[in-house]
Structure 1
Amino acid sequence: MDFKSIALTTRPRLQACEDVCVLQVKGNKGEISPLDSRFGDRISQNLSLRPTAPHSTHSSTLPLPGKEPTFFTKCGGVLTDSGGTLSSPNHPDLYPPDSHCVWVIRVSPPFLVQIQVSSLAIEGPSPCLFDWLEVREETEKTSAVTRFCGNVPPPTLNTNSSTVLVSFHTDGNIGGNGFIAQYHSILPGQKSCSREEFMCDGGRCLLPISICDSHPNCQDHSDEVNCNQKHKECGGKITGEYGSLSSPNHPKPYPHQQLCTWQISVEDGQVVRLSFQNFSLETQDVCEFDYVEVYDSTDTVPNTVLGRYCGSALPPDLTSSGPVMTVVFVADDGVADSGFYASFKAISLSERTCSPTQFACGSGECLHQDWRCDGWNDCADGADKHDCINSTYPPFTSPCEPIRVEMCRGLSYNLTSFPNIWLTVSDQREAASILHKYRVLMELACFESFRRLVCGMFLPHCSPQSGVLQPCQSICSTAEQQCSHALNLINLNWPFNCHLLPDSQDPMECCLP
């Protein structure tokens, strides 16, 4: 069944944590001051790795609090040449679990250290609580830490220091191919970015996807200037009885960093029927990197989404409820495929029917008959659950089990179900292992609302009456409103996409943990 997914926002972009342990940033000048000591202590015990002495070029020993040192070969060291390369153990093969490596890069003043990560494949998600590559630069007045994970190399890092500490940390679970990076010594006036990157703030480099994304990333907002020329290759307004649209270059691979929006309009009294003939986007568990999203409205209002699609499966035919439909195509800077080709036609309201093997939701979306009365909420308006008393389809019978994860006890429900169909978590033990990582944030005043959200995602509500339910969008929005500022103070990104959750208060549609 093509379940509509929710997920951690793991978009593999630059992950920045300005000294997660004991620092916070004030104002625009990057002034540093201590955080609450209890939170700093707890975070430092879980996240911070500090070297106690320089290590040899071919081995490093990093004492952890309360643990004996662990020895690794070709991991860490002191680098004093004007340029060089460093990489994770075993690169390009999988890095080992429980690795702790520290490199000390020292160049002669007034030269500064520039770092370019050419390959990155480190377990996420944001905010990089599991495995990470971390760059710490020290100056007389400030200390700055930048943390990376995911699968897209970050932009060039122009530091303001002649001594930089680079640490690589992994936990005991999921691994990846790690990283390889090059460093160079440059004079302050030689700061540069790669050809496709954008420089601002006197040496800060941004990836192309961060330019003209409606979110200023530069202090002077220069990354949001002259944006009317971006994404000019696709999108636009389409009118008429019929027509077509496709990803740029189709059937050749589409370009990176695309944001295309088509608005399809037909005459009043008609609706839009959209059909996909070709469809091949980057394959992913959750459609958040490259995807097509279709809206039953004139703009991208979240509660009018007819569907979001990725991978190679052909999306179903979609029908609007009115004379306008909006189609959005998004592509990041990672894998590119051949894209899609779709056609549309205007049909009268009386013609808005589905095939004999399908039924229609109130939105006009056609779904397979097997999805009717199956216990799952497939139509936003609940049309798939109407007139189910005499249905030959069996009710939802997936077994519910008591919640055993300590962090998630005391919710509004005490039963859950596994495997988790939205986050591909196999059992409660796996969920507990993931949730344990979030306990490092428990000193935040907003942790209770954050706990309700993550528990609702990782241990979803289960009942014989309504099946397995996602958390309601309001739970996520409330947690984001209460917690995002606190997370921003320690430069952690909000890790969820609330718009992917059901926008409802109906206890049969979603859950209020």
Structure 2
Amino acid sequence: CGGPLTTLEGHFSTPSHPQPYPHQQLCLWQISVPVGHIIDLHFHNFSLEPHEDCSFDFVEVHDSAGTGAASLMGRFCGHQLPPTLTSSRHVMTVLFVADEGVADDGFFATYQARNATEKTCSPAEFSCGNGECRALESVCDGWHDCPDGTDELNCTGVSYPPFDATSFPNIWLAIPDQAGAAEVLQDYQMLMELACYQHLRLLICSLFVPKCTPDGGVLQPCRTVCLAAELRCQHSLSLLGILWPINCNILPDSNDPVECFQP
């Protein structure tokens, strides 16, 4: 049993599957697809002799053309279906070992190659036109999170931030108009993509594009909102080697909705 598998997709199984496999087996499948591809491996039926350490009958999956310990992705036995496994390169090795003891029904597995540049987005993510993934909450939020802008296509009645009257020039940040604000905001794109604080985007937007009040005044975000964002985001920013870029002390130290803006 075992052998090379070189097609873009295929399947393999233990000897005699779905009948019990013979005793004393050692099967080695080496999956090799074109360079530039990765491999998704799925187990559909799985039933091997159970053991706490999988020392008797087991399957090993390796992220390489060999079976060294450094490439081991997992060792599996028992009756629980292994997870889907994805290689990091264009090769993968599957090893099946059975001793002389208990024999079970074995397994049936399929594999499929896909382009390494393709990304599979999770159910909680939006797939951009170029294959990149973005959080679902970024869709139709008024910002182009996808490089190709597909997250803002076919959106109706959506605006961000949730106010449509803004004041310029922005005397606090010396920004003359909305075009200037849009240019400066590009430098804050990485910060706005962090999911460290629920109202982070709204805070930054209301700083650079201030909200107008009905009487013609300007409503800045409250200092407490800025400080909360700084506290929540410090760890994420430190991992990126970035300092918190906003001086929260310039904002009103109040929670009065007449004096400052809160989400």
The TM-score normalised by the length of structure 1 is: 0.24
Higher relative contact order at CA 8 Å, sep ≥6: structure 1 or structure 2?
Answer: 2
The TM-score normalised by the length of structure 2 is: 0.47
Q: Between Structure 1 and Structure 2, which shows a larger proportion of helix residues?
A: 2
Task: State which structure, 1 or 2, has the greater radius of gyration over its C-alpha atoms.
Answer: 2
